[in-house]
């Protein structure tokens, strides 16, 4: 099938303006008759549901959590980018666009990224109007900070809880629409199938997770805002419930999956402590603004970090990348940590960790602070005391979190960190209008593949989620729905609903009836280990082929030996988890296939076969400058469709941070 | 930090659904590492139960990093357990020692019916927000974000109130099952910001009315809510809400 990305013609900076000027509209009286289903209530879903409700559509919003406010967008820490140029430091829509395309290692679609940069400023305005309490300066104006990989200060933030504040803003807009009657909220509901009638998405089958009932819901359009699939690795910074199920059901019904192997491994997370570990915790990238990363120069050095003298430490990022030092992009920092640990220089009990050290920052800030107080000959103890206060003001909540989890005091001893799966750039393939290859089915936010290429820059996920929901989908979905005004609501007694519901029920009873010996969790852990070892920070053809075989084997074992307690009716979290893990297993296979197909290194995807002499990632633009959009053809069978990427403005170059 | 292993006795509330009476069941767990989180200890227990052919214990949890507000266990008589300003998911087993008995219950409040075991229904909080916990601004209506400067102190105070994670520990801690801390945090956030002023009066009246309707109790100033709040939301928000409520009541038509 030929992919049509529907990129509007014209100059890059006029495309979105032109599109909006010519897009089809739905008149208010007709909007009231049109129903839209939104799956997921994170930044993308909550903002889309609220914005569409405001327009007068009849919206149904679904989430598996007990409230829309729990969606995992809430855990984003660092901030949200916007090309406001409030700092007068040379930022612009063009620079944000350029940085994002380059940061994504030239594997994103230029037109989408440009639109994202254009609407970024509106997002900040909207959030402030909703009462989002961003950090401010003494003059009462908004504060900005810098973030990895960029040279301007364009990141807006609310302490280390920016995602929380933005999500609560979108949630409040959503709840307002619920009160006004335009949105109906379905919490503790999980989408288990998409219903397709005459080639168009017309509804979903959802499970009420409290009563166990299977429900049918009609919609003229269905929006999947169900987040990323990092939990395929079992251990990730995602919430425990984050899953790929909604997107995967759509994929198996015909929606192509774009660049599934593009995974972001975040360099600064708290390391694994044991095999009971259920999730990993991110320490905001902002810590790299002041912290210095190092390992001992000697292998197996078991001294305490504070006992290792300066000359026996290897500040490997500063050594390898003098220009960017500790502020290299996430993919580069993660691989460098892995390289040191693989070579035997890792620290801590597992030897899979490196130090993130604030001792220098504490001294530096302490001296500045002492100077401000007129004390130019302060002794070391005074300097350190003052410095700790400054560091506490900047990073206090992160240091507290580290102390709670590890029981160590990061003001006194360096933190131990290690990379962890954090975000997935891949997702359902969408065109410029965010429509998947199934008409009427859209994917927004992390659930789609579109804007971050092979590597997402910090503080850009929140931006994309809200851009899609508040400012893109209200226009683009109208273009589709304008032709649907003559379609009356289809009764859910339609055979397509019957059939989809039956498929869902059959699968649930199949799962319950396996009555095997192994827990769902044990399968998920095994899948995660295969993925992390063979489709993680470094990948090679042999490992990926092995992984595919192992995953196929695991799948067989799952469907013959999984044990799910409880009953099919009523509340059964283990059954819900089993369905998600079954989907993750299938996705894992596709990710390995995609990674195997892409025999180049780009962004977060590092193929060992494709590296420079000094071990840096080597892109292959001649052969791989495309989006791999995978079409499901049957069990373990996929066909790759290629969307060629054309770079009109930002000409691809080898990224260098040296 | 020294790590250690421990054996524990757990007394956990089991309840099939909201109509079931429910009761405590006792479980033994062995070789629990002091490095585990409290919920990871529950994972170990659940794996054990499933392997033994029993039903797993249902509990709410999601982000496991203290921000989503989903986890909600009442541990040894305290919401979220013994540590201060901490959620259940961030409680770690080094808070306990070998041989301890730990009692785990769901939140208890008429307005939070038990769904199963340790899971409760907190949709009352959503309905309180629906009653007015927002600023009525449609998408696209906003002026430039820097058009209205906001006193940094007000912005900081608004943020401190907005840090509420909506977990309901305040209700669980309160002998009256009052939701005043939760409601006042949202009322305060929006009352402190210029954007919130147009709806200031209707908001507080409507949110308080909904709070009462949901069956939450009154506030008698024992401050257990503040003491147990995982995010340290201050009771000064309750005082602010009372002022807002009084002003709104006196001046409304």
Domain CATH for B225: 1.10.1060.10
What average pLDDT does range A534-562 have in this prediction? Answer: 98
pLDDT in tens, A201-254: 999 999 999 999 999 999 999 999 999 999 999 999 999 999 999 999 999 999
Cα A533 from Cα A539, distance rounded (Å): 8
Average pLDDT over every residue of A531-555: 97
With cut-offs at 50, 70 and 90, classify the pLDDT of residue A285.
confident
Can you tell me whether residue A333 is helix, strand or coil? helix
pLDDT number for residue A329 = 83
* CATH 3.90.700.10 residue ranges for chain A: 268-421
Strand residues in chain B grouped as ranges (E): 5-14, 23-33, 74-75, 78-79, 101-105, 114-116, 119-120
Residue B99, chain A, CB below 8 Å: the answer is no
Q: In the predicted model, is pLDDT for residue A550 greater than 90?
A: yes
- Which ipTM score applies to this complex? 0.98
This prediction's pTM:
0.97
Query: What does the pLDDT look like over A139-188, one tens digit per residue?
Result: 999 999 887 667 899 999 998 899 999 999 999 999 999 999 999 999 99
If pLDDT is split at 50, 70 and 90, which confidence band does B85 have?
very high
How many angstroms separate the CA atoms of A217 and A119, rounded? 32
Whether residue B127 sits in one domain with residue B100: no
Supply A36's token pair: 């839209």
Domain annotation covers residue B114:
no
Q: Per the domain annotation, does B113 fall within a domain?
A: no
- B67 lies in a domain? yes
Do A391 and A361 touch, CB atoms closer than 8 A?
Answer: yes
What is the pLDDT of chain A when averaged over all its residues?
A: 96
Range from A264-278, A323-337, A507-521, B165-179 carrying the lowest mean pLDDT: A323-337
A6: left (phi over 0), alpha (psi -120 to 50) or beta: left
Residues B200 and B132 in one domain: yes
Sheet containing B101-105: which strands, arranged edge to edge?
B23-33, B5-14, B101-105, B74-75, B78-79
> What does the radius of gyration of chain B's CA atoms come to, in whole angstroms?
21
Checking if the pLDDT of B77 tops 70, the result is yes
Q: What is the pLDDT of residues B29-66, one digit of tens each?
A: 999 999 999 999 999 999 999 999 999 999 999 999 99
Q: Give residue for tokens 């079954």.
A: A582
Which of B105, B131, B164 lies at the terminal end of a domain, its last residue? B105
Q: Do B128 and B51 sit in the same domain of this protein?
A: no
Q: Is residue B81 part of a domain?
A: yes
Closest CA in chain A for residue B37: A405
Residues B164, B192, single domain; the answer is yes
The total of structural domains in chain B comes to 2
The answer to whether residues B95 and B22 belong to one domain is yes
Of the candidates A131, A39, A239, A160, which has an alpha carbon nearest to the alpha carbon of residue B68? A239
Q: Which of A86, A125, A274 sits opposite B142 (nearest CB)?
A: A125
Model confidence at A478, pLDDT cuts 50, 70, 90, reads very high
Asked if residue A516 lies in contact with residue A561, where contact means CB atoms within 8 angstroms, the answer is yes
CA A469 to CA A126: how far, in whole Å?
A: 12
Burial class (CB within 10 angstroms; exposed 0-12, middle 13-18, buried 19+) of A377: exposed
d(CA B60, CA B56): 13
Per-residue pLDDT at B124 exceeds 70? yes
Can you give the pLDDT at residue A151?
A: 80
pLDDT of residue B252: 64
- For A63, A127, A166, A180, the CA distances from B132, given in Å and listed in that order, are 22, 17, 18, 11
- Average pLDDT value for residue range B187-201: 98
Place of tokens 């397509």: A496
| A605-632 pLDDT, tens digit each | 999 999 999 888 999 999 999 999 999 9
Residue B111 in any domain: the answer is: no
Q: Which of A71, A129, A140 sits opposite B152 (nearest CB)?
A: A140
Q: Which helix (H) or strand (E) holds B49?
A: helix B38-51
Residue B175 has pLDDT above 80, yes or no: yes
B166: in domain: yes
What are the chain A neighbours of B36 within 8 Å (beta carbons)?
274, 276
- What is the pLDDT averaged over residues A21-28? 97
Check B145 against A130: CB less than 8 A apart. Answer: no
- What is the pLDDT, as a whole number, of residue B253? 61
pLDDT of residue A286: 82
Start-to-end CA span in chain A (Å): 42
User: What is the average pLDDT across A193-198?
Assistant: 98
Residue carrying structure tokens 């009523």: A570
Is the CB of B48 inside 8 Å of chain A's CB atoms? no
Residues B47 and B157 in one domain: no
Instruction: Give the end of a domain, one of B105, B135, B158.
Output: B105
Residues with Cβ within 8 Å of A277's Cβ and at least 6 positions away in sequence, in order, are A235, B40
CA neighbours within 13 Å on the CB side: how many for A105? 30
In a domain, B115, yes or no: no
A375-to-A366, A371, A383, A384, B233 alpha-carbon distances in Å:
11, 5, 10, 13, 37
Report CB contact under 8 Å: A74, B63. Answer: yes
Q: What residues of A are in contact with residue B128 (Cβ under 8 Å)?
A: none
pLDDT (0 to 100) of residue B87: 97
**HEC-encoded secondary structure of A550-592:** HHHHHHHHHHHHEECCCCCCCCCHHHHHHHHHHHHHHHHHHHH
In this structure, CATH architecture of domain A495-621: Up-down Bundle (1.20)
Please indicate, yes or no, whether residues B41 and B139 belong to a single structural domain of this protein. no
B52 is in which domain, residue-wise? 5-105
Q: How confident is the model at residue A2 (pLDDT cuts 50, 70, 90)?
A: confident
A268-421: which CATH architecture? Alpha-Beta Complex (3.90)
DSSP code per residue over A190-243: EEEEEEEETTEEEEEEEEETTT--EEEEE-SEEEE-----GGGGSSSSS-TT--
* DSSP result, A168-196: HHHHHHHHHHHHHTSEEEE-SEEEEEEEE
A519 sits in which H/E element: strand A518-519
pLDDT of residue A658: 80
Using a CB–CB cutoff of 8 Å, tell me whether A65 touches chain B.
yes
Does residue B2 surpass a pLDDT of 90? no
Domain end: B73, B105, B137, which one?
Answer: B105
**How are strands ordered across the β-sheet holding A292-296?**
A263-269, A415-424, A354-357, A292-296, A313-314
Min Cα separation B120/chain A (Å): 9
**% chain A with pLDDT above 70:** 100
**Residue A367 tokens, joined:** 């001296």
Query: What percent of chain A clears pLDDT 90, i.e. is strictly above it?
Result: 90
Q: Which of B94, B133, B140 sits opposite A172 (nearest CB)?
A: B133
Helix, strand, coil abundance in chain B, percent, nearest 5: 40, 15, 45
Token duo for residue B108:
């208890």
Tokens at A130, concatenated: 């909703």
Taking the CB of residue A570, how many other CB atoms lie within 10 A of it? 16
Greatest distance between any 2 Cα atoms in chain A: 83
DSSP letter at A516 equals: -
Q: Could you report the per-residue pLDDT of A43-77, keeping only the tens digit for each?
A: 999 999 999 999 999 999 999 999 999 999 999 98
B175 and B233, same domain (yes or no) = yes
Least confident of A164-178, A274-288, A496-510, B194-208: A274-288
* pLDDT single digits (tens) B89-102: 999 999 999 999 99
Which residues are registered as beta bridge partners of A651? none
pLDDT the model gives residue A284: 85
Q: Where in chain A is the domain with CATH 1.20.58.100?
A: 495-621
Cβ atoms of A184 and A177 within 8 Å: the answer is no
Provide φ and ψ at B99, rounded to 5°. Answer: 90, -5
> Looking at the structure, do residues B101 and B131 belong to the same domain, yes or no?
no
pLDDT at B1: 61
Q: Give the HSE-up count for residue A26: Cα atoms under 13 Å, Cβ half-sphere.
A: 24
- The answer on B136 and B90 residing in a single domain is no
The answer to whether B87 faces chain A, any CB pair under 8 Å, is no
Q: Which chain B residue's Cα is nearest to A163? A: B67
Among A72, A127, A138, beta carbon nearest to B63: A72
Same domain, B91 and B200: no
**Residue spans of alpha helices (H) in B87-235:** 123-130, 152-162, 169-173, 180-192, 200-213, 224-228
Same domain, B41 and B76: yes
Question: Is residue B158 domain-resident?
Answer: yes
């Amino acid at each position: 099938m030929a992919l049509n990305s529907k990129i509007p013609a014209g100059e890059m900076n006029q495309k979105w303006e032109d599109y909006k000027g010519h897009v089809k509209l739905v008149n208010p009286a007709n909007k009231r008759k049109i129903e839209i289903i939104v799956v997921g209530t994170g930044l993308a879903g909550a903002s889309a549901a609220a914005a569409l409700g405001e327009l007068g559509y009849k919206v149904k919003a679904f989430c598996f959590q007990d409230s829309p406010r729990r969606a995992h967008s809430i855990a984003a820490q660092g901030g949200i980018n916007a090309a406001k140029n409030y700092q007068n430091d040379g930022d612009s829509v063009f620079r944000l666009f350029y940085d994002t395309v380059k940061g994504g290692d030239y594997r994103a679609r230029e037109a989408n990224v440009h639109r994202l940069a254009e609407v970024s400023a509106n997002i900040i305005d909207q959030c402030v109007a909703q009462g989002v309490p961003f950090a401010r300066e003494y003059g009462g104006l908004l504060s900005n900070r810098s973030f990895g990989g960029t040279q301007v200060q364009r990141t807006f933030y609310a302490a280390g809880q920016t995602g929380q504040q933005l999500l609560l803003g979108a949630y409040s807009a959503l709840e307002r629409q619920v009160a006004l009657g335009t949105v109906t909220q379905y919490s503790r509901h999980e989408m288990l199938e998409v219903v397709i009638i005459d080639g168009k998405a017309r509804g979903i089958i959802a499970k009420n997770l409290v009563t166990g009932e299977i429900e049918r819901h009609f919609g003229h359009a269905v929006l999947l805002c169900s987040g990323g699939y990092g939990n395929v690795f079992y251990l990730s910074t995602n919430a425990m419930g984050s899953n790929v199920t909604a997107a995967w059901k759509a994929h198996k019904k015909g929606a192509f999956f774009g660049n599934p192997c593009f995974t972001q491994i975040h360099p600064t997370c708290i390391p694994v402590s044991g095999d009971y570990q259920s999730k990993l915790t991110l320490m905001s990238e902002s810590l790299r603004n002041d912290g210095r990363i190092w390992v001992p120069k000697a292998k197996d050095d078991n001294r305490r970090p504070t006992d290792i003298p300066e000359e026996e430490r290897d500040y490997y990022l500063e050594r390898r990348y003098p220009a960017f030092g500790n502020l290299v992009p996430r993919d580069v920092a993660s691989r460098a940590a892995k390289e040191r640990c693989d070579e035997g220089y890792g620290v801590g009990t597992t030897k899979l960790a490196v130090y993130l050290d604030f001792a220098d920052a504490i001294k530096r800030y302490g001296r500045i602070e002492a100077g401000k107080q007129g004390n130019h000959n302060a002794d070391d103890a005074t300097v350190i005391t003052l410095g700790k206060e400054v560091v506490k003001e900047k990073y206090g909540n992160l240091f507290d979190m580290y102390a709670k989890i590890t029981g160590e005091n990061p003001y006194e001893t360096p933190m131990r960190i290690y990379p962890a799966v954090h975000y997935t750039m891949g997702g359902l393939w969408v065109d410029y209008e965010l429509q998947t290859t199934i008409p009427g089915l859209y994917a927004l936010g992390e659930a789609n593949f579109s804007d971050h290429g092979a590597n997402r820059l910090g503080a850009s996920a929140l931006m994309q989620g809200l851009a899609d929901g508040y400012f893109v989908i209200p226009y683009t979905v109208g273009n589709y729905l304008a032709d649907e005004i003559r379609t009356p609501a289809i009764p859910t007694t339609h055979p397509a609903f019957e059939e989809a519901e039956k498929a869902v029920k059959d699968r649930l009873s199949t799962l319950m009836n396996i009555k095997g010996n192994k827990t769902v969790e044990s399968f998920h852990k095994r899948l995660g280990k295969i993925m992390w070892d063979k489709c993680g920070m470094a990948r090679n053809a042999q490992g990926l082929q092995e992984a595919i075989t192992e995953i196929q084997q695991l799948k067989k074992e799952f469907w013959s030996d999984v044990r799910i307690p409880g009953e099919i009716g009523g509340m059964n979290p283990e059954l819900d988890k089993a369905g998600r893990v079954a989907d993750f297993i299938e996705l894992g296979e596709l990710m390995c296939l995609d990674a195997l197909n892409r025999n180049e290194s780009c962004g977060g995807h590092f193929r060992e076969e494709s590296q420079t002499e000094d071990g840096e990632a080597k892109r292959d633009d001649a052969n791989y400058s495309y989006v791999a959009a995978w079409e499901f053809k049957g069990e373990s069978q996929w066909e790759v469709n290629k969307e060629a990427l054309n770079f009109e403005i930002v000409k691809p170059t080898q990224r260098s941070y040296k | 930090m020294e790590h250690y292993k421990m054996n524990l006795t757990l007394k956990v509330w089991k309840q099939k659904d909201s109509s079931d009476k429910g009761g405590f069941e006792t479980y033994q767990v062995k070789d629990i590492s002091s490095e585990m989180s409290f919920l990871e200890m529950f994972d170990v227990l659940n794996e054990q139960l499933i392997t033994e052919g029993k039903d797993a214990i249902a509990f709410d949890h999601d982000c496991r990093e203290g921000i989503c507000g989903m986890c909600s266990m009442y541990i040894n008589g305290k919401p979220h357990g013994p540590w201060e300003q901490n959620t259940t998911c961030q409680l770690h087993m080094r808070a306990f020692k070998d041989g301890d008995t730990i009692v785990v219950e769901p939140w208890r409040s008429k307005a939070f019916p038990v769904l199963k075991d340790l899971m409760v229904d907190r949709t009352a909080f959503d309905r309180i927000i629906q009653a007015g916990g927002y600023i009525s601004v449609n998408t696209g209506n906003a002026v430039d974000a820097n058009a209205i400067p906001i006193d940094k102190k007000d912005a900081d105070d608004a943020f401190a109130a907005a840090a509420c994670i909506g977990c309901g520990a305040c209700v669980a801690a309160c002998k009256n099952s009052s939701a005043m801390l939760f409601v006042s945090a949202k009322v305060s956030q929006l009352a402190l910001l210029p954007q919130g002023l147009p709806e200031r009066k209707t908001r507080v009246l409507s949110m308080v009315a909904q709070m009462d309707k949901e069956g939450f109790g009154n506030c008698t100033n024992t401050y257990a809510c503040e003491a147990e709040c995982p995010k340290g939301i201050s009771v000064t928000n309750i005082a602010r809400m009372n002022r807002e409520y009084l002003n709104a009541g006196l001046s409304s038509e």
